[in-house]
Homo-oligomer: A and B are copies of this chain.
Amino acid sequence: MNTESIYDYLERIANLIRTDVRKTGVAKGLQPVQLEALHYLSRCNRYSNTPVAVADYLGLTKGTVSQTLGVLESSGFIEKQADLNDRRVVHLNLTVDGARVVSDAIPPNILKSAVDGLSETSRNEITATLNQVLRELQTANKLKTFGSCKTCRYHLTQEDGRRRCGLTMEWLTEADAEKICREHQPTAESV
C-alpha cells in the first residue's frame, strides 16, 4: 500500500512550503494562517467572505478564526462591513494593503522556483493529479467543496450567455463565476 508514501510526500512538501511562507510572511508581519485567510478572501465571492466561511474553509473553529481576523483587522489588512439583510452577518473585505500582500506572497517563491524547473507537460500532469487527490479527499470524506461558482450544480447559463445562481437567483458577472463559493455543490457527473 502506498498510502504511507503519499502521506510522507504531502507532509514533507507541506512543511517545506509552510516554512517558506512563514519566513516571507514574518517579514510583512503575517502568520501563515493569516496569509491563508487573506488568500481565501481574495478569491471568494460575496456570499463567502464571512468569518464562518473562513472557519469552514480553513477547518478551524469560529472562535479561533474570529481572533485571527481581529488581528488582521487591527493590522489594516481587512475591513469589516455589516450585512444589509442579516444583521448578524459581517463581510470581510481586503484593504489595498491586504490585496498587495497576497499577490506578493502567493504563490510562495519556493514553489515558483520549483515549478520553473518543470516542463509544461509535467506541470499539467501535476495539476491534474493534485486535482484528483483533492476531489477524492472531498468526496470520500463528504467535505464541503468550496469550488468555483461556474463549476457548481446550481450555476445557470442562459442562451444569451448571462449567468445566474440557482440558489439565490442573483445575476452573476463573468468575474463572479470564477470565484470560490461556500455553497458550492459539485455537478452530478463529477461525483
Contact = CB atoms under 8 A, between A and B. Distances in A.
Interface of A: 2-7, 9-20, 22, 36, 39, 57-60, 106-108, 110-118, 122-127, 129-134, 136-141, 143, 146
A5 B39 contact: no
B125 A137 contact: no
A20 B60 CA distance: 11
A6 B111 contact: yes
Contact of A15 (B58, B106, B131, B132): B58
A126 B133 contact: yes
Contacts of A57: 15
Given A6-B130, A19-B58, A125-B129, 18 more contacts: A2-B124, A4-B107, A6-B115, A9-B127, A10-B13, A10-B130, A11-B17, A13-B134, A14-B14, A14-B17, A16-B137, A20-B141, A117-B139, A117-B140, A118-B136, A126-B132, A126-B133, A129-B130
